[in-house]
Amino acid sequence: MSQSGLDDEELFGEAATEIRADVEDHLASARDALPEASAVWDVEADNTLGVLNGLRTALAVDEVQDHLRDAKKWYTIGERADAFEDAADLENEIEAIEDVLDDLEDVSDAVGDLASAIPELRGELEEIHAEGDEGEVDEDDDA
């Protein structure tokens, strides 16, 4: 095969196009992996703990993180190779998904804290009320 058929500029252009396509694909996959707004707003559960556990499940971000990491990896390679003519759109989308991901992680942490605290609070309240009921029974017995 003749080397004249493989022009470096042409190969670089093809590689740049493929890298951009990879970044775009991973960003689309990250976007698709984000929870739907209804998943964090509409909840069906019998109690508070069920609501919190459902919300925590809806806020799962592992798949988003994986796709965003791959998008950033390919974006960084393309940027360092100066392969993109204009990558502002990619950079903006990466930042937007990162912002939402940060918010999801913060909310997920808060929901996890609440999911841990609510059963404990419930137990303390039941205990206090049980002690109060026992005190009322004791007073009735004395009369």
User: DSSP string spanning 47-71?
Assistant: SHHHHHHHHHHHT--HHHHHHHHHH
pLDDT in tens, the chain (143 residues): 445 556 888 888 899 999 999 999 999 999 999 999 999 899 889 999 999 999 999 999 999 999 999 999 999 999 998 888 889 999 999 999 999 999 999 999 999 999 999 999 999 999 999 987 776 655 555 55
CA 117 to chain centre: 22
Q: Which pLDDT score, from 0 to 100, does residue 89 have?
A: 95
What is residue 64's predicted lDDT score, i.e. its pLDDT?
95
**Half-sphere exposure of residue 8, counting CA atoms within 13 Å on the CB side?**
0
Q: Could you identify the residue written with the tokens 């998943």?
A: 39
Sign of CA dihedral 108, 113, 116, 122: negative
